[in-house]
Chains A and B, each alone.
Chain A
Amino acid sequence: MKPLLFANGRVVDPSQQLDEVTSVLVQDGRIAGIGRDLGNPDGADVIDATGWVIAPGLIDVHVHLREPGQEDRETIATGAMSAAAGGFTGICAMPNTDPVIDNQGAVGFVKAKGEAARLARVYPIGCVSVGQRGEQLAEFGEMAAAGAVAVSDDGQPIMSSHLMRTALEYARTFGIPVADHCEDMPLAAGGAMHEGIVSTRLGLKGIPAAAEEIHVARDIILAELTGGHVHLCHMSTRGSVELIRRAKEKGLNVTAEAAPHHFSLTHERCDGYDTNAKMNPPLREAEDRDAIRMALADGTLDCVATDHAPHHYDAKEREFDDAPNGIVGLETALSLALRELVLSGLMTLPKLIERMSCAPARLWHLPGGTLRPGSVADLALFDPAASWTVDPARFRSKSRNTPWAGETLPGVVHATFVAGRRVFSAADLGPRRHPTGA
């Protein structure tokens, strides 16, 4: 493969405190060098990145790819395509498929499908419990050997404190995190949205913030008991942020993520029974959204993760109570983060790359998240100053469920590279995104 020279872009790599206009040389799928005077070694193909940001590819530790079992919503290949279109080079697939990914054979299936797609890297997550039934530990060792990078029963909280304790203890053997969906089930049962003034007006059963916070508090206490690595999924409340802040002050092995919809939207978005605003955890109050943003800025929350949840269009076209939770996340995540976190002045662009690339790679021990010479050449090229209008019909994802249809967002991804190979190009694939001016 000919070397590739990404020339004259703004290279943003917080892993080496780099933010300057320079060039990146890629050879044999790895970063070969960074600098202005790389010349044109071995007749490298030159990609003019003038005006664009060159960053380590984004990494999402929380996506639902629906395969096996729900391929009408998404497949591993379409999910990996959607990821590439959003600037992601690595995605971690939650195991709540049908059947669930609770054994080494199933982990191998996800990994093989991901490799065959040759798009964004797909990392399987294995179940914590057999069948996600919350009873018996799944075979972490065999799943890790087959490629699982973490374990989770996501979609279902691990309600049994005993199971969570043993999972955290046992996962230490393999150095993998236990990612937990924090929701006290009896307290949240039947809830369709955040419990507050909007649920009161709409006559929908609410899920109190306490349902998440009780579970977060328990997981933190068990992390302290076991020394295991607990990763808290899709944090949505200011109370959770406070608990995590205290846990980190104590030096506990706790990491946490937040989803773009939780730092962008609030429960008022459910008005009119808009099922594209139905999530679990639900959209919360402005104070919660602001606390999530601040926590991403100060590092209390380690990373952005989309909770990418594709649904067939007619599944969302129904009564709010009966509609499924979640939205397509991968193709809007970078733009929302730019708008809500960077353009709002809360953090710098390098800080955002840290939250969306470096931190997930570092905390979950994944390749990428850096442009250091010798590391994998996973890169995202985007123009943070350009904007585009969200047209769900042009999503690379199989699904269309998004609350941002028709909105103009900043940040256009121009190309995504995995191991030095182009896996997405806005130019090649036609005008998916309609630039609407600088």
Chain B
Amino acid sequence: MSPATLGKDLVGLEHMSAEQITAILDTAEPFKEVSERPIKKVPALRGKTIVNLFFEASTRTRISFEFAEKRLSADTVNVQAAGSSVSKGETLVDTARNLEAMRIDMVVIRHGSSGAAQFLGQRIRSNVINAGDGKHEHPTQALLDLLTLRDRFGRIAGLKVCIMGDVLHSRVARSNIWGLTKLGAQVAVCGPPTLLPSHVADLGVTVFRRIEDAIQWADAFNVLRLQLERMTAGFIPSLREYNRVFGVTNERLSKAPKDIVILHPGPMNRGVEIDSDVADGPHSVILPQVTNGVAVRMAVLYLLAGGAPDWATAGGDA
């Protein structure tokens, strides 16, 4: 098995090698161009059947996957399951067996429980791609973040990236921590201690208690969405105070020794974790992230389906 082979599933970045991650990013490069063509379609996954199985509401990720699939000529079905499998009355294992029985090739799963993607992957022969499982991982989001950083800086190694906000509940944060550290970046987290995991420093990241300190350090901020229910659950006193203490504002950023590149996985709460003039400002790469999302997902689908990284380069015209 070559180091770039991904295996059957993409569950998370924790157990992937730097070579595998780099192979995905490299494979995404030619796919970027597909989306710029008048006819945005290549036949790489023609005849493949893909189910987008979403147990949680999602607009951006689901649409991004669906575009990626369609631009690779796959046949796709979207399943928007209301709530978790438990409330639906069917267990996840039964859902898995039913999908298997329909002889599908790939499943893209979004689920509210950590471990759900791995659970599914262990029980079906189809490729499983994790589109976010609970608070565990969201690997394609981290991959598109990496691709966006690489576009901007020309490298990942040596970059200083600070993940801002609700790391405790964030699968985006975990995937980013693994991906960035494996590619040689330095990673920090910054947020209220109530929203940082108890042992986050043991993951090899620096912890900043105040955003002012993070601003002095970072090359880039990845600003996480603050879920409104964190306030009612008692993690923070109010959104207003959160913005006052931890909000990413131009006023704060103006004290940075260098221009800090701003990422956000979306959807944004403007005026809470990020101010509009930052989100829409010259150092924001939030929309390029979305564009790269399609390319990265095309790369993942393509590689899991058995495509070789070098074939992808030529595959644009295949």
The yes or no answer to B288 lying at the interface (CB within 8 A) is: no
Minimum Cβ distance to chain A for residue B201 (Å): 10
Whether A203 lies near B92 (C-beta < 8 A) is: no
Selected interface stretch from A312-320, A361-369, A406-414:
A312-320
A319, B111: Cβ atoms under 8 Å? Answer: yes
Query: Contacts A201-B174, A314-B93 hold; do A321 and B199 have CB atoms under 8 A apart?
Result: no
A225 at the interface (CB under 8 A from B): no
Known: A203-B136, A273-B115. A318 touches B202 (CB 8 A): no
Considering the chains assembled together, what is the distance between the CA atoms of A319 and B93 in angstroms?
9
> Whole-angstrom distance from the CB of B59 to the nearest CB of chain A?
22
Q: Pick the contact of B113 from A195, A196, A314, A322 — CB < 8 Å?
A: A322
Residue B86, interface by CB 8 Å: yes
If A201-B203, A317-B91 touch, whether A273 touches B198 (CB-CB below 8 Å) is: no
Whether A322 pairs with B198 at a CB distance below 8 angstroms is: no
Partner of B91 from A206, A273, A314 at Cβ < 8 Å = A314
From A200, A205, A273, A317, B200 is in contact (CB under 8 Å) with A200
Q: Is A204 close to B, CB under 8 A?
A: yes
Contact A320 B200 (CB under 8 A): no
- 0 or 1 for each of B73-113: is its CB under 8 Å from A? (1 = yes): 00000000000111000011100000000000000000101
Interface string of A295-324 (1 = CB under 8 A from B): 000000000000000000010011111100
Q: Which of A206, A272, A314, A320 contacts B198 (CB 8 A)?
A: A206
* B174, A203: Cβ atoms closer than 8 Å: yes
Tell me how far the C-beta of B55 lies from the nearest C-beta in chain A, rounded to whole angstroms. Answer: 10
Contact for A321 among B113, B137, B171, CB less than 8 A: B113
CB within 8 Å for A319 and B136 given contacts A196-B198, A203-B174: no
Report the nearest B residue to A190, measured CB to CB: B233
B114 partner, pick from A196, A204, A318, beta carbons under 8 A: A204
Q: Helix, strand, loop or mixed for chain B's interface?
A: mixed
Interface centre among B14, B93, B137, B197, by most chain A C-beta atoms within 10 angstroms, is: B197
Residues from chain B with Cβ under 8 Å of A9 in the complex: none
Contact with B along A192-213 (1 / 0, CB 8 A): 0001110111111110100000
Q: How far is the CA of A205 from the CA of B86 in the complex (A)?
A: 19
Which residues 191-242 of A have a CB within 8 angstroms of B?
A: 195-197, 199-206, 208
B135 contacts the other chain (CB 8 A): yes
Q: Find the residue from B116, B137, B200 having the highest chain A CB count within 10 A.
A: B116
Asked if B316 is at the interface of the complex by the 8 Å CB criterion, the answer is no
- Inter-chain contact A321/B114, CB cutoff 8 Å: yes
| Assembled-state Cα–Cα distance A314/B171 (Å) | 27
A129–B36 CA distance with the chains assembled, in angstroms: 69
Q: What CA separation (Å) do A197 and B201 show in the bound complex? A: 9
Task: List the A side residues contacting B84 at CB < 8 Å.
Answer: 319, 322
Q: Which residues of B contact A314 (CB under 8 A)?
A: 91, 93
B134 at the interface (CB under 8 A from A): yes
Interface magnitude class on chain B: 20 to 34
Q: CB of B119 within 8 A of chain A?
A: yes
Does B206 have its Cβ within 8 Å of any Cβ on chain A?
no
The residue among A195, A196, A319, A322 with the most chain B CB atoms within 10 A of its own CB is A319
Contact residues of B between 126 and 166, Cβ < 8 Å to A? 133-137
Say yes or no: B116 contacts A319, CB within 8 Å: yes
B313 within 8 A of A: no
Please measure, in the bound complex, the distance between the C-alpha atom of A406 and the C-alpha atom of B113, giving whole angstroms. Answer: 28
Task: Indicate whether B118 reaches chain A with its CB closer than 8 angstroms.
Answer: yes
Among the listed B85, B119, B202, which residue makes an inter-chain contact with A200, where contact means beta carbons less than 8 Å apart?
Answer: B202
Residues of B within 8 A of A202 (CB): 114-115, 136
> Can you list, as one digit per residue, whether each of B178-219 has a CB less than 8 Å from chain A (1) or not (0)?
000000000000000000011110110000000000000000
Would you call A208 and B119 a contact (CB within 8 A)?
no
- B199 and A320 form a contact (CB under 8 A): no
Select which of B85, B86, B198 is within 8 A of A208 by beta carbon. Answer: B198
Q: Which residues of A contact B116 (CB under 8 A)?
A: 319
Chain B residues closer than 8 Å to A201, beta-carbon distance: 14, 174, 203
With A318-B92, A319-B116, A322-B113 given, is the CB distance from A203 to B134 under 8 Å? yes
Cα separation A197 to B14 with both chains bound (whole Å) = 14
Per-residue contact bits, chain A 318-342, to B (CB 8 Å; 1 contact, 0 not): 1111100000000000000000000
Set of chain B residues within 8 Å of A319, measured between Cβ atoms: 84-85, 92, 111, 113-116, 119
Interface string of B282-298 (1 = CB under 8 A from A): 00000000000000000
Interchain nearest-CB distance for B87 vs A (Å): 10
Q: How far is B136's CA from A206's CA once the two chains are assembled, in angstroms? A: 13
The CA-CA distance from A202 to B202 in the complex, in Å, is 13
Distance between Cα atoms of A41 and B93 in the complex (Å): 61
CA distance A135 to B187 in the complex (A): 50
Q: B91: nearest residue on chain A (CB-CB)?
A: A318
Chain A residues lying within 8 Å of B86, measured Cβ to Cβ, are 318, 322
Inter-chain CA distance A317–B93, complex, in Å, is: 7
Q: How far is the CA of A205 from the CA of B114 in the complex (A)?
A: 10
Enumerate the 8 nearest inter-chain pairs by beta-carbon distance, A residue then B residue, closest first.
Answer: A273-B115, A203-B136, A203-B135, A319-B113, A203-B114, A200-B197, A197-B199, A200-B199
- A and B contact pairs by CB, cutoff 8 A, 13 listed: A199-B197, A201-B14, A201-B174, A202-B136, A203-B133, A203-B134, A203-B136, A204-B114, A318-B86, A318-B119, A319-B85, A319-B92, A321-B113
- Partner-A contacts on B (CB < 8 A): 14, 84-86, 91-93, 111, 113-116, 118-119, 133-137, 171, 174, 197-200, 202-203
4 extra A-B contacts, CB within 8 A, seeds A320-B115, A322-B86: A203-B136, A319-B84, A319-B85, A319-B111
